[in-house]
A and B are shown apart, each in its own frame.
Chain A
Amino acid sequence: MKSCWATESKLSQAREHYRACFLCEHRCAANRLSGERGPCKADAVARVYKHRIEVGEESELVPSHLFYLSGCDLRCVFCIAEANAFDPRRGQPLTPEFFHKAVAWGRSQGARTLEWVGGEPTIHLPAILEAMADCPDLPPVIWKSDFHFTEEALGLLDGAVDVYLADFKFGNDACARRLAGIKRYVEIVTRNLILASRQGDLIVRHLLMPGHFDCCFRPVVRWMRENLPTAKFSIRDGYLPRWQALHYDEVAMPLPPAVADEARALAGAAGLRLVV
């Protein structure tokens, strides 16, 4: 039986993006079925390069069954998923049959939630909705995303997702351009945070990076205080230089230990609702 959100109209609207893709704010309109590729390089097949039960997410979400999809619309130089994030040909195809068996396995292992991660899952949204549409015994679904998606994509997620787990990485456009290769970052991500907060539970994450306290962390806290003061806010302090981060001086080192304490104190003083 199909989930109630999974109407034929929604699924076919989602599939249309494979013909002219507007899933992320690159809005490149690539016909992914006919061999065109946008900046994400993805075709019309979503691929899972890893799935397993993990407990490193926010404590209210664990144990969570994470499905890692290859491919991303951003190009973060510090990406922890490294090549898996940027090569959408990696992994096995996400078919409903594969997914349903995997979900049953996850349930048998005690998973309380199911989480889509990447790369960036939004670039594979049509295949994900198709896989979830008639999946029996689906646990609460978490959408872990860079939030660089379009309003159209977010509309398609309505009803299918229980918790939006947002990576609010940068507090200004210059850092986003330099370290992730994208434009209009703040405008796009903050718009989507507001919209997602009306559509489901929202946890906003910020990964502390060395050298980005004043330019990124402080503005993120300020924006949260002014716009989403009651949303859950999660400070991640496990930054290590990965992928190409060694070529960028300030992020080529681990986070100095005192920064995490200072960040928590600042967010606490701003009245944000911290979760761990």
Chain B
Amino acid sequence: MEPDDLSPLSEITILPDGRVYAFGATRPVLEVLESLRGPEGNSDERLQRLMQTLRDQDLTREDRSK
């Protein structure tokens, strides 16, 4: 069942000092944030940890489907 979503937006707020806040973060939102912040490890610890968790789960799922 596709969500019949009454407030379908995720919100990204960027403060003038560059801090970024994401509310209702989905995986595509995290991927956008990661790409904005660049691949050189300058995204914050929490974002990196979440992305790593999701990638580890992808690998586990691939292994199981082999």
Contact = CB atoms under 8 A, between A and B. Distances in A.
Interface of A: 49-56, 59-60, 62-63, 80, 84, 90-92, 98, 101-102, 104-105, 110, 112, 238, 240, 254, 257, 276
Given A55-B26, A63-B54, A105 B3 contact: yes
B65 to A, nearest CB: 12
Contacts of A112: 57
Interface string B23-46: 111110010000000000000011
Contacts of A91: 6
B26 A51 contact: no
Contact of A90 (B3, B6, B19, B26): B6
Contacts of A101: 1
B27 A55 contact: yes
Given A102-B1, A276-B49, A55 B6 contact: no
Contact of B22 (A50, A51, A56, A92): A56
B19 A257 contact: yes
Contact of B30 (A51, A55, A90, A257): A55
A102 B1 CA distance: 5
Nearest to A83: B7
Given A55-B30, A59-B49, A254-B15, A50 B25 contact: no
B64 interface: no
B50 A92 contact: no
A276 B45 contact: yes
A52 B7 contact: no
Contact of A62 (B1, B8, B19, B50): B50
B17 interface: yes
By Cβ-Cβ distance, the 10 closest A-B pairs, closest first, are A56-B25, A101-B1, A105-B1, A59-B53, A49-B6, A52-B3, A276-B46, A59-B49, A238-B21, A51-B3
A54 B54 contact: no
B66 interface: no
Contacts of B30: 55
A62 B23 CA distance: 15
Contacts of B7: 49-50, 84
Given A55-B26, A104-B1, A50 B45 contact: no
A226 B1 CA distance: 46
Contacts of A53: 26-27
Contacts of A257: 17, 19
